[in-house]
Chains A and B, each alone.
Chain A
Amino acid sequence: MPLNQALVGKVYPPVRYEVGREKLREFAIAIGETDPVYHDEAAARAAGHPDLPAVPTFAVVLSMRAGQVVYGDPDLGLDYSRVVHGEQEFVHHRPIRAGDRLLAAGKVAAATARGRHELLTLETEITTEAGEPVCTVRATLLSRGTAPPRHGSGT
């Protein structure tokens, strides 16, 4: 079933996320990052961070949660079992750090056909509860074989 084009531009209600030190350490360990700045508060402060910073791809944890809200919308028509991750982009306005109380709101930024497949771009805007921009995350997903049939196409 093709994606619902009418939802392009729709912004979904945000999910809340409170950033904990142990979660940041756990994520850093999981990706093999041993730099003390990500593990030791004193090292982080010495480097000018008010608390432990997140590694640059940690924001995916929040964007996946925001994405679940979007993908779970039955009106979107996304069959997640057909999805392949195509591209990923993070625009950091400032590092995520321990103690942050964040909101992550997902948006259907684009849904376009490419041959028999469709490309869905999920954009997640991460801000503090006070509205300070923190990170913009874009994930482009390939939805295999769901493009609407084109007139005259043989297959």
Chain B
Amino acid sequence: MSPHVDPTRVRPGDTLPEVAETIERMDLIRYAGASGDFNPIHWNDEVAKAVGLPGVIAHGMYSMAIAARMVAGWAGDPAAVRRLKVRFSAMIEPGQTLTAKGEVAEVDGRRVLVRFHAEDEKGEKVLSKGEAELEL
């Protein structure tokens, strides 16, 4: 696969193509099975409500995976992603759309630092302080 970006043309301030995903309960059940994270707050409303949540919420790692799709897709190569970090700052419920947004912060030769976040439909940050170090 050829890189989606030309490393020689990457500049601070460049924005990454956004990735948006409407989260359905089935997505969370599928993610639970694939990841092995069967915490019932992600698929059982009764358990979620018993611990004070409005209902089931998405796995934080599911949201991070969506944001990572944006980063790796832009880089064009999973091997380019050297470091990936996020803070989980809000929860998101099924039926909501998560949108990942990112911007090039620093460029040093082939090494690129991308800052990113992911937000819900109201613009509240579900993932914040996202950082990705890439070697393009």
Chain A interface (Cβ < 8 Å from any Cβ of B): 23, 26-27, 29-33, 35-38, 43, 46-49, 53-57, 60-61, 64-65, 81, 84-92, 94-95
Q: Is the interface of A mostly helix, strand, loop or mixed?
A: mixed
B92 sits at the interface (CB 8 A): no
| Interface contact A30-B34, CB-CB below 8 Å | yes
0 or 1 for each of B26-67: is its CB under 8 Å from A? (1 = yes): 010011011111000000000000010000000011101110
Q: Which residue of A lies closest to B72 (CB)?
A: A56
Assuming the A-B contacts A64-B35, A91-B82, are A86 and B87 also in contact, with contact meaning beta carbons closer than 8 angstroms in the complex?
Answer: yes
- List, in ascending order, chain B residues with CB within 8 A of A37's CB: 1, 77-78
- List, in ascending order, chain A residues with CB within 8 A of B85's CB: 87-90
Report the Cα distance A87→B36, complex, angstroms: 19
Q: Which of A35, A43, A60 contacts B61 (CB 8 A)?
A: A60
Chain B interface (Cβ < 8 Å from any Cβ of A): 1, 21, 27, 30-31, 33-37, 51, 60-62, 64-66, 68-69, 71-73, 77-79, 81-88
Q: Which of B35, B36, B64, B66 contacts A88 (CB 8 A)?
A: B64
Q: Assuming A53-B79, A88-B61, A95-B79, what are 19 further A-B pairs, CB within 8 angstroms? A: A29-B34, A30-B31, A30-B33, A35-B1, A36-B1, A37-B78, A53-B78, A54-B78, A56-B68, A56-B81, A60-B61, A85-B60, A87-B85, A88-B88, A89-B83, A89-B84, A90-B84, A90-B85, A92-B82
Task: Give the distance to chain B from A17, nearest Cβ to Cβ, in Å.
Answer: 11
- List, in ascending order, chain B residues with CB within 8 A of A60's CB: 35, 37, 61
Assuming the A-B contacts A31-B62, A31-B66, are A26 and B71 also in contact, with contact meaning beta carbons closer than 8 angstroms in the complex?
Answer: no
Task: Give the distance to chain A from B15, nearest Cβ to Cβ, in Å.
Answer: 20
Q: Which residue of A lies closest to B132 (CB)?
A: A56
Q: Is the interface of B mostly helix, strand, loop or mixed?
A: helix
Assuming the A-B contacts A92-B83, A95-B78, are A55 and B68 also in contact, with contact meaning beta carbons closer than 8 angstroms in the complex?
Answer: yes
Report the Cα distance A56→B80, complex, angstroms: 10
| Interface contact B30-A30, CB-CB below 8 Å | yes
A-B contact pairs, 6 of them (CB 8 A): A23-B34, A29-B30, A53-B79, A57-B68, A90-B84, A91-B83
Task: Give the distance to chain B from A120, nearest Cβ to Cβ, in Å.
Answer: 14
| Interface contact B60-A61, CB-CB below 8 Å | no
Report the Cα distance A153→B68, complex, angstroms: 42
Task: Give the distance to chain A from B98, nearest Cβ to Cβ, in Å.
Answer: 11
- List, in ascending order, chain A residues with CB within 8 A of B61's CB: 57, 60, 85, 88
- List, in ascending order, chain A residues with CB within 8 A of B36's CB: 61, 64-65
